[in-house]
Each structure stands twice: as C-alpha cells, then as structure tokens.
Amino acid sequence: MTEIPTFEVNAFVGPGLSGNPAAVCLLDHGLEDEAMLAIAKRHNLSETAFLVAAGPGDDFDYHLRWFTPEVEVDLCGHATLATAHVLFNERGFEGREVRFLSPSGLLSARSEGQLIWLDFPSRKPLAATLPAAVLKAIGGAPKEVLLGQRDYLLVYGDQAEVEALGPDFETLGDHGLLGYIATATGRQVDFVSRCFFPAYGIDEDPVTGSAHCVSGPYWAEKLGRNDIKAHQISPRGGELALRIVDDRTLIGGRAETVRRGEIQV
C-alpha cells in the first residue's frame, strides 16, 4: 500500500466561493494509466493532476499529466495552476518559475505577486461549421463558429445570450471528444465564456484555462490588444488575466488550497 500526498486546490478564484477545484497528486514514480484514471474517478473533480519529479539532466522540473473522471486530456489550465500553487505554497519549491513536461510539450508557471502565470501554447481557432444536431443542442445559435485544436468556439452577440444557453449535454457528448466554448464580450470584463465538455465527463466546467488558449487569441485580435481580462460565468465562476505573446497564451490566476491529505493506492 502506497500513500500519495494529495491536495485539493481552487484555481482561478475571484470574489466569493469561486474557482475550479482540482486535485493534485504528488507521485514518487509514475503510475499505470488505469491507476491514475481510477484515482481521478475517486476524486470526482473535473481534473486530477499527477506530478513526478524529473530525473538528473532533464531540462524541466516535473512530468505532469491530467485526467478527468473519464479520460486523459492533453492540456489543462486550472489543474496546472493548482499544481504550481501546491509547489510554490505547500512544498517549498525554490525559485519563481517551475517547468513541466506535459502531453502538450514544455509548459511553465511563474509566480508574480498574487498571480501565477501559465505559459501555454495558443490554439488559434479557424472558421468552421457545426452539424445541425449540435447547433440545436447548444441551445442558441451563435453568430460565428470556429474550431481550435479540439474545441469549438461559439461567438454570441452579448453576455446575456451566453448566460441564457441551456445545452442538451447528452447530444453534445455523442459527437466525439470535442469541447464547446460559448463566448461574447462582457459587461465588466473584455469577454466572458461558458465551457461544455460532456464527452469528457464534465457537462459544464467551472473555469477552463485551456479554453482560453482558443478564446484568448480570438479576442485579442478582435479587440486589437494583447492584454485582456476574462470571466468564466459558470455557476461557480472564475477570473483570468490573459496576455498573448506570439504563438503563446499566458494565463494568470489566483489559487487557494482547500484541503490536504493522502490517498492510499
């Protein structure tokens, strides 16, 4: 029996009880995929991050992977923010920047004041079309449809239209491992979004860092500036600062530890 130090962290927190909870598991060595998926199912959060220290001579600090309760994902923002928060604030990581080797290549997280900034790849979306069944299942017709590497970006006329969406998650989940990002300009921030990932076992994600690798470059181009503020308007909600630099999306947010413990495997 092995005890794994585990933390639950709220990521991209704003005022009140906001943010997206993620579990962070600190491993001495890698686990089989089936074991990590079983642990993610046990946590039953939108994402569980698994961290293993790099070996001598590696040009990064940790290996990092992420699992929903259903599948492994190739990129996750809030669980990476949660992981960096644990390293900086719970485990005494030396230095202001930590580097991760992930399924999406080399990522980094840098501590700057109250924010942790993630350095992620941009996934600039291109014009696309939606199948009629999916368009109906979203619950409202967008004025523009684009597609990033794995997620549709659905652009609406205003924040109220995004708030009013009532998706048919069962139908959306039947159309493959795709996500749906509904977005519009915001009343108090540059843009807002809601994110739906039913095929991944997450009907509506509270706050989705990776989705802003798609929406951030889109809105930076539309607004004509690279520093923008975003708010994910799920029932929990969350706040993100974005900076678009060449082909990278820098995502800033706050995090807080909710609980500490161990799980036995």
* Residues labelled as active-site residues: 47
Phi-psi region of 77 (alpha: psi -120 to 50; beta: other; left: phi over 0): alpha
Q: Which residues pair with 231 in a beta bridge?
A: 192, 239
CA distance 33 to 28: 15
And the tokens for 204?
A: 């509506």
Q: Which residues pair with 6 in a beta bridge?
A: 25, 261
Scan for tokens 């990522």, then name that residue: 107
CA distance 52 to 124: 30
- In angstroms, what is the C-alpha Rg of the chain? 18
CA distance 234 to 208: 10
- Between CA 107 and CA 111, with CA 110 as vertex, the angle to 5 degrees is 155
